[in-house]
Structure 1
Amino acid sequence: MDNKEYSAGLSELRAVRDELRPLERELAQLQAKVDKLRERRGAKIRQLGTYEKATSDRIATAAGLAVIDIVALVPSLAPQGAPEAPAEVPVTESAVVDQPAAQAPAGPIKETAAVPASEEPPTADRAGALARLRAATAEGAFDLEVLGKPGQAEATPPPTGAETEGAERVLPSIPEGAEGDRWFHAEPGLASKRPNFRQAVRQMAFLDTATGVLVWQGGTVRLDLGQATVSQILTAVYAVPNTASIERIYVTAGDPWHQSSERHDFLKDAVAAWLNAPLPEGWTVESSRGKDRQAGHLVHPRNPVGRWQRGDQHTEIRSVGEWFDSEGADPATVRAAFVELWKALQPHFEDVVLMGSPSQTGRDLWSRTIPTKAGAKWADGFPVMSQEIRGLLHATAGQGRTELITPPRVPERVPGWYEVDRTFAYAKHTWASGVGVPQRITAARFAAMSEKEQSNALFAPSHWQVRVTIPMDWNHVGLLPAPAPGERSWHYPYEGGRTFTTWAGGAEVNLALRNPITPWRIEILDGLLWESGDPLKSWSTKLQKAWRSLRAVAEMHGDEQQKKACALASRAVRSILLYGIGTFAQRPRITTGSLELGVGGEVPELPEGARLTGITDTHVTWERNQGFARDQYAHPEWAAGVWSAARAALLSVSTSSKDPETGKPLKAGALHLPPGSILAFRTDAIYTSAPVDWEYGGEPGDYLLKGRMAWEQTTPRTDEDFYVLQELGRQAYESEGM
């Protein structure tokens, strides 16, 4: 830069200043008005709360707030303190692990910011030895320049002050010294071992609550369900001869739990009201537990689970949406899909039992692949890591990438809309996983490694705390997740020259260093390094064989119903693997429950540690965070590794197709599309304005074109806009083949 450019830059800066100042003044005035209105609203809420018949749900609706916000302003509208005898409170509980939140389709990922008890910032000693890594050759060698050997330049530690509103949260770190060393152990007496029992078989029925058609092993009938309340469903189903053995009712269509949604601000409140409605005489909410049974209801906005009992008879009502989108299939076809699913799994898992959800089924099937042969390396079971390490992974390892890229990063109008989705993607990333207790690789220890040792560590199953600097001339999408401000858990910084601190899996760190455009600067601050093993390989291989066989039948079968049933069953296999991996993450145990209101509408006392989440005319609902359970199948290191590899593959991955000239696998992913063409990511899918010609080989992880509109579109700015274009793109592409 010369003096002339410098002077011109100053003039431009002054112009920006003059344009910004009046806007800042206007913003301050608006903020003052907002604050004043909020004060008026709070005062009015407190005033209304003094009325003896005031209820928090009515005030919440009028104020446009959640019930819990009203209770915070007027504590008298909710109980205070724990019940004296919590064991006698007639509550219903269920664990969220039964229905992972990951099952919600393509919505923003909502992760709690729960962290281990210690969140001490890294000290200068720990951050003093940093290694600069950059890709040197196409074969993958690294040219390592050690920037911070002991006694040399030290890096600035991550911020330690209080976070301001809207600022990015600071992720936890491993404590220094002996305190951190105590994290690195296995939980005593807790390991994943093969079960010595067979799951009980539950008789299933399939019910369309819109038409009343019920299909089960004993036949097909059409029921009069009235308004399809729980009471009407239970009464109608069990009035039919030979249905007493039915223990699980899958709703295939109708979503009866949403029928009163217009009377509630949130879907969960409508679901809770439906689950807690009056029951037929003799029925109660289920309270007993077994090896594969959980008591009480799961209040989920789309796929709830209700559990009831009448004497020794136990019944679940669930949504088939847990397994797949039925796409309008009738109950007979859905039942056929479950039959085909069992038939496809049975040759590979001789003791297969389809449980209530794909996550339960996936974990049970995996547990039956644990080695038992004497002398096998993990015959005594896979050890479960300490609660501190599991908590660290929970706080620092996100799931699928969900991002909508809007103007001005992309044009207001784009030349087309293309959706490509990785088929059965997670199966591609289950060949190697970390096993045993990890080693801690501090910055100093990493700097002391040889170049080969450093490279091996980054390619091994691992999880790293890194400081990232984006190249100044970077003009593509972000590569690594970072803690995001506001309600979103993660975002993907992309601005050239930006520096941030985060945690990322080895797959993503390698991608940042070896991406096909230009290497990013990565500084290792801390890390977890596991021994490489294959605990998921046998399980995943068996599921892939079942998936392939179902897809083959779906493509060739002459009977349309069986063709559809096998297609649905293949998607169920995908769900078993996808949500089975999710169960390894073992999020903190969140239990939900409900209590009846008193005779005069009084709110009852909640269990100790519970918080109020909703009120209906007859019940209150609550939830309670019970932390990490002693779960023998808790392996968040496996889930984190698969998720990291899948996010990296969204950016660049080898396909099953070969380059005819070199014989090497062809590459695909967002970084192989033009800068500025990426419009969105949704877990395993890329949405772009550039035509995509990646060959589809039909193998797990290959990109499949699912939507296409090869004409100008308005760029979506909201999730609602996005889903409209997604549906239109799929319809347009489907019509091309008709």
Structure 2
Amino acid sequence: MPEGPEGDRWVGHTANLASTRPNFTQQARSTAFLDTATGMLVYRDQATRLDLASASAGDILQAVFHTVPEGVERIYITAGDPWHRDVGRYPFLRDAVAAWLNAPTEGWRTDTGRGKDRMAGHFVHARHPVGRYQREGADQHVEIRSVGEWFDPDGADPTTIRDAFVLLWKALRAHWPDAVIMGSPSQTGRDLWTRTIPARGQFSEGYPVLSEELRGLLHATAGQGRTELITPPDVPEQLPALVEYDRTFAYAKHTWKSPVGAPRRITAATFASWSEKEQTKALFGCGHWQVRVTVPDGWNHVGILPAPAPGERAWHYPRTPGTTFTTWAGGPEVYTALSNPLAPWKVEILDGLLWDDGKPLDDWSKKLKEAWASLSAQADLHGDPTHRQAAHLASRAVRSLLLYGIGSFAQRPRTVTGTTPRTAERDIPADAEIIGFDDDHVTWQRPTGFSRDPNAHPEWAATIWSGARAALLSMRMRDDNTHVGALHAPPGTVVAFRTDAIYLTASQNWPYHGQPGEYLYKGHLAGPLPAPTTEDELLALRDAGRHAFHRTRTGGDA
């Protein structure tokens, strides 16, 4: 942040831009569910088997609209991943997906958009793309989407998945009478949040959006979940076991307090002038701090604070004794570095932003937690196994509403993806990057910066992510009077972190009551086994560990 008046200008809000409570009811979309592997289509209470030919977008649209009313506006693909059908012809998945989305669709064209909640154009994503189409000469629009945006279907048939969405809708309606399930969990989660903005009181006029400069600073300096693989010699070449602990509904644990209003800039001199009590209070508050950090002598455990990885757009966690680095971090992580159970790190505050504490997400999060608890209870206790499976999927969808809703507050700089016919390559924007092509089309993308999004609040996402990363290291369970997390496992036993999960070489006696944020013992693979050196190797061991653990607990096949 620059010094003087220029830096002072950063510490404010964008003029005439705030999150406000909507004064309209969201429009529901008529939805069908399609398994392109089997051709099974479920629409309302009817199931039909379709002939999808080659399962191109055109084949799907023709088959679906030959069978169901023209009012269908959303088709969820539950299995089959048709956009991957020609992966062997392309060097990257995105190229295959772009070609599938842009293949000719007789009678349909790429949607140009309509209405406030209707996005235009296809969304190219390697695994969960969105195809948006409009019928030629008619005001008829339809999306083809992956249900994997919401949850892993785990082999469920389209009828069970439709039932899961019905259960999700009913659980949400218990808390939001006007709840509507939109196309993605991020859209739906954020829409539901806007309907919890208070109609009276301090923020009845809305939550102002930070300046573009501060949003850019937070985008560049506030990472998301911790993903780290620790390899030999920091762990044994042969692991005695691989044990997985996964935090249940983790982010819901960190939404009770969030920053509100315009932040104060806290300089190094100001922080140093405070008493220890004032400094501790600031680090417990809603802040984002630039710090110079030194790993203490004799340190033999995992790193605590994230640092920009040299030459990469990523984060790493320095842990070599004596290493000094400069980074930005949230208060929970800085406080963990100073007060961890092993040895305090040297942390010097260089600069910072400190907000007032507020509860802009608390009501939203409480309602989602209650919906999740209700669906989880059904998944555990209902007598019908099909209903249990649908309720389990619905509970996972609630998790996605919160997880991706929080992610949407971060408002990354926008990147527009487009396709242009090879015959019109001169029309490709000059600042675009070519990301794929075939004989007929060129696929490109270009950055467009930050939009005037009234619901952009990266300060909320950054606070939650920092709290979640700190809880991976150390978290107090008040009712059990104990601490859990990676720093409470012996040195050399932590193999990996993956957002909400820790992978260890031995099981821990950590209590679990099924509450948000607690560590669920989820997988155990007995060793000796080779320490993973790549993410793919870790995931293969994780899946084997889950399968083995399930068999041990059930006494049979998973």
TM over 0.5: yes
The CA deviation at 1:216 is 0.9
Superposition pairs of residues 139-538 of structure 1, within 5 angstroms: 174-217=1-44, 219-240=46-67, 242-281=68-107, 283-310=108-135, 311-373=138-200, 376-538=201-363
Structure 1 regions of 5+ residues with no counterpart? Answer: 1-173, 659-663
- How far does residue 696 in structure 1 lie from its aligned partner after superposition? 1.1
CA distance in 2, matches of 1:189, 1:439: 20
CA root-mean-square deviation? 1.0
- The question of 1:614 aligning with 2:436 is answered yes
Once the 2 structures are TM-superposed, how far is the Cα of residue 710 of structure 1 from its aligned partner? 3.1
Which position in structure 2 is the counterpart of 1:698?
514
Which stretches of structure 1, 4 residues or more, deviate above 3 A after TM superposition?
A: none
Q: What residue is the counterpart of 1:550 in the other structure? A: 375
The structure number with the bigger radius of gyration is 1
Cα contact 2:309–2:315 (8 A) shared by 1: yes
Aligned counterparts of 2:64 and 2:159: Cα–Cα separation in 1: 16
* Structure 1 residues 634 and 685, CA gap change in structure 2 (3 angstroms): same
Amino acid at match of 2:36: T
- CA–CA separation in structure 2 for the residues paired with 1:692 and 1:276: 51
1:557-612 Cα offsets, whole Å, 9 max, x none, are: 111111100000000000000000000000001111111222xxx73420343221
Compared CA separation, residues 531 and 437, structure 1 to 2 (3 A): same
Deviation of 1:449 (Å): 1.7
Q: 1:710, 1:696 → 2: CA distance?
A: 22
Between the aligned partners of 1:417 and 1:437, the Cα distance in structure 2 is: 45
Aligned equivalents of 1:395 and 1:252: distance in 2?
Answer: 35
Match of 2:477 in 1: 655
Match of 1:587 among 412, 417, 423: 412
Q: What letter corresponds to residue 297 of structure 2 in structure 1?
A: M
Contact 1:418/1:692, CA 8 A, preserved across alignment:
no
Distance in 2 between residues matched to 1:188 and 1:437, nearest whole Å: 12
On the 8 A contact 1:612/1:622 being kept in 2, the answer is: yes
Contact 1:657 1:697 (C-alpha < 8 Å) held by counterparts: no
Helix, strand or coil at the partner of 1:626: strand
Contact 1:414 1:712 in 2 (8 A): yes
Indicate the residue corresponding to 1:713 in structure 2.
529
Deviation of residue 693 (structure 1)? 2.1
Task: State the one-letter code of the partner of 2:325.
Answer: F
- Matched residue SS, 1:307: strand
d(CA) in 2 for partners of 1:483 and 1:596? 39
Distance 1:542 1:608 in 2: 47
Instruction: Tell me the CA shift for residue 218 of structure 1.
Output: 5.3
Code of the aligned partner of 1:730: R
Match of 2:540 in 1: 724
Local SS of the residue matching 1:246: coil
Point out the structure with the larger strand share: 2
Q: How many Å apart are 1:697 and its aligned residue?
A: 0.7
Q: TM-score, structure 2 length as denominator?
A: 0.98
Q: 1:352: Cα distance to partner?
A: 0.3
Tell me the CA shift for residue 318 of structure 1. Answer: 0.3
Give the one of 483, 508, 517 matched to 1:667.
483
Given residue 129 of structure 2, which amino acid in structure 1 is its aligned partner?
P
- Residues 448-457 or 530-539, more deviating: 448-457
Alpha-carbon distance in structure 2 between the residues aligned to 1:609 and 1:495: 41
Q: Secondary structure at the match of 1:508?
A: helix
Query: 1:14 — aligned with what?
Result: none
**Letter paired with 2:71:** S
**Counterpart secondary structure, 2:449:** coil
Map Cα deviations across residues 115-161 of structure 1 (whole Å, 9 max, x no partner). xxxxxxxxxxxxxxxxxxxxxxxxxxxxxxxxxxxxxxxxxxxxxxx
Per-residue deviation, 1:371:
0.5
Q: SS at the partner of 1:462?
A: strand
Q: 1:70-96: CA deviations, max 9, x gaps?
A: xxxxxxxxxxxxxxxxxxxxxxxxxxx
3-state secondary structure, aligned to 2:406: helix
1:640 aligns with 2:462: yes
The 3-state SS of whatever aligns with 2:300 is coil
- What 5-or-longer segments of structure 2 have no aligned partner? none
Find the aligned partners of 1:604 and 1:619 in 2 and give their Cα distance: 12
| 1:306 CA drift (Å) | 0.4
8 Å Cα contact 1:439-1:529 kept in structure 2: yes
Amino acid at match of 1:620: V
Q: How many residues align?
A: 552
Q: Which residue of 2 aligns with 1:38?
A: none
CA contact (8 A) 1:596 1:604 kept: no
**What secondary structure does 1:567 align onto?**
helix
Match of 1:140 in 2: none
Write the deviation string for residues 292-346 of structure 1: whole angstroms up to 9, x where unpaired.
1100000000000000011111000000000000000000000000000001111
State TM-score, norm by structure 1: 0.74
Q: Is the CA contact (8 Å cut-off) linking 1:480 and 1:492 kept in structure 2?
A: yes
Whole-Å separation in 1 of the counterparts to 2:334 and 2:176 = 36
